[in-house]
Structure 1
Amino acid sequence: MDQLPIFVTLKGRKVILLGSGEMADAKRRLYERAGAAITDDEAADAAMAVVAFEDDDEADAAVKRLKARGLLVNAVDRSALCDYTTPAIIDRDPVLIAIGTGGASAGLAKAVRQRLEQMLPAGLGKLARGLLAARARVKEIWPDGADRRRAIDAALNPGGTLDPFADHDAQAIDHWLTDPAAGNQTGLIELSLHSADPDDLTIKQARLLGQADVIYADTKIPEAILIRARADAERFDLDAFDATQITGLTLVIRYG
């Protein structure tokens, strides 16, 4: 690991941004979303700086000046000059997922982000806020730390009451706390796929593949789609399907 991924609180703090144009505007939007106060005053009292000059010599000189002041510097599209790089971000506030390549390829980081975005429900942040609000109740129900961790893990497991890859209504956490043993997702779900391209999976289909305990798949279903399933999910040919033997969350996947 060549870089340490960290989340920095920038709300109300100054960040120096030097340069103009498309690259600088993109960085400005990103840092302002995090609450930073952007300034182009190179002498400002700041902990971080971004250099977005097009000209190589101008960028190199600015980076040297800023580093001489002890600032952490990000030089846009110049990974060799960077003290830190900005990742591709999936924002489900307060849940943040950052994908970085150490400056090797911003395009690769973006592609991974786009793939993961398809799998993560829009309500993931709401679930996180709900768990924070319920923290006192959770401690009251499970005063022992080990019991509490096991209960939370069970609820958040694939197919569990609070599975983070599933959609939940506003009462999901209340239902879990009222009856912690209930709600683990089981049963049979049938999917009909019309494309061999995994990028054509719907968001719901991708989530179900990631949640299923058992999968019965048509032999025409390509491996590129089936590898989206959990590594520990049991997989069988559709010819072996027996509706009387359903366990956990079972998917039957047909093609065409």
Structure 2
Amino acid sequence: MIETLPLFHRVAGQPVVVLGEGEAAEAKRRLVERAGGVVVTELDAGIARGARLAFVAHEDAAAAEADVGRARAAGLLVNATDRPALCDFTVPSILDRSPVLVAIGTGGASAGLAKQLRLRLEGLLPPSLGRLAQGLAQARAALRRRFPEAGDRRRALDAALAAGGVLDPLAEASAARVESWLDSPDAPRGGMVAIALRSDDPDDLTLREARLLGTADMVVHAADVPEAVLERARADAVRRLGGAEQAEGAEGLVVVLARAARP
């Protein structure tokens, strides 16, 4: 179970309180400005201007605790540098392929670990990823015309963006293919796939099984299928308890989950 809810918060043009001096406070000011926020260095002024977020970077523990209390009392969400117990939110390590942002957080456990994971991913995600996202955004109206049904659009995108697909996000050339892709294939058909679970651990799913579960429109499952496995499905996928008969008349991709027969 995750302990925090990852969100992307729009701060462009909005006041954000940053308190403190030194490198930690300066780093938070740069972060806010990079996102287009307006840095306010006095708490009362930030409250008066309607700030919703505050960064507290005092080295003195008592000063930090006092300002966190004042900010929370005024209804602000607070991040206190190097003081996880005082934080309402933490700041992830950010991989920027605008408008694609990959945020890596550890819940305050280790900023160094988050940074090293980001650096590894930097080498995997091509610079063209942002252009691919922009191309898909610009093609939204054409995509709706091409595939009027939401399920068809989702399945078409899933197939195109999958590993080896025409719009594979890890392929540098994909950003230039959006227009030609829209002029070519029909949306892939749905179908039904049965997955026999070998254990309660979702990490034991094969890559193919994980991909199918993550793109399914409906998940039909036995009562003893663990929640940890079901969480690997799309959050908006329809869930039904039972066997394959529960999927009769369903549209799109249906995945049926059950435990493998014991030898």
TM-score (norm 1): 0.69
Q: Which residue of 1 aligns with 2:132?
A: 127
54-63 vs 100-109, which deviates more?
Answer: 54-63
Write the distance in 2 (CA, Å) between the matches of 1:136 and 1:151. Answer: 15
Q: Note if contact 2:54-2:71 (Cα within 8 Å) is conserved in structure 1.
A: yes
Quick one: distance in 1 between partners of 2:70 and 2:4? 23
Q: Which residue of 2 aligns with 1:218?
A: none
Q: Using the alignment, how far apart are the partners of 2:90 and 2:174 within structure 1?
A: 37
Q: Out of 164, 178, 181, which is 1:159 matched to?
A: 164
Q: Distance in 2 between matches of 1:33 and 1:19?
A: 19
Q: Can you list the C-alpha shifts for 1:5-46, whole angstroms capped at 9, x where unaligned? A: 101010111011111111011111111111110011211231
Deviation at 1:178, TM superposition (A): 2.1
Summarize the alignment of residues 1-256 of structure 1 with structure 2, pairs less than 5 Å apart. 1-43=2-44, 44=46, 45=49, 46-168=51-173, 171-180=176-185, 231-232=207-208
Kindly state the Cα deviation for residue 170 of structure 1 after the two structures are TM-superposed.
5.5
Aligned partners of 1:53 and 1:82: how far apart in 2? 13
SS state of the match for residue 168, structure 1? Answer: helix
CA RMSD of aligned residues (A): 1.7
User: Shift of the alpha carbon at 1:169?
Assistant: 6.1
User: Where has structure 1 moved over 6 Å in runs of 4 or more?
Assistant: none
Query: Aligned partners of 1:80 and 1:27: how far apart in 2?
Result: 18
Gap runs ≥5 in structure 1:
182-229, 234-256
In structure 1, the partner of 2:241 is: none
What is the alpha-carbon distance in structure 2 between the residues aligned to residue 169 and residue 145 of structure 1? 23
Q: What is the identity percentage for the equivalent residue pairs of Structure 1 and Structure 2?
A: 53
User: How far 1:144 moved relative to its partner?
Assistant: 2.1
CA distance in 1 between counterparts of 2:175 and 2:119 reads 27
Distance 1:143 1:66 in 2: 48
1:126 is displaced (CA, Å) by 0.8
Q: Is the 8 A contact 2:167 2:175 kept in 1?
A: no
Distance of 2:154 and 2:75 partners within structure 1: 41
Contact 2:129–2:175 (CA under 8 A) maintained in structure 1 = no
Look up the SS of the partner of 2:72 in the other structure.
helix
Alpha-carbon offset, residue 232 of structure 1: 4.6
Deviations 1:199-251 (A, max 9, x none): xxxxxxxxxxxxxxxxxxxxxxxxxxxxxxx9459xxxxxxxxxxxxxxxxxx
SS of residue in 1 equivalent to 2:4: coil
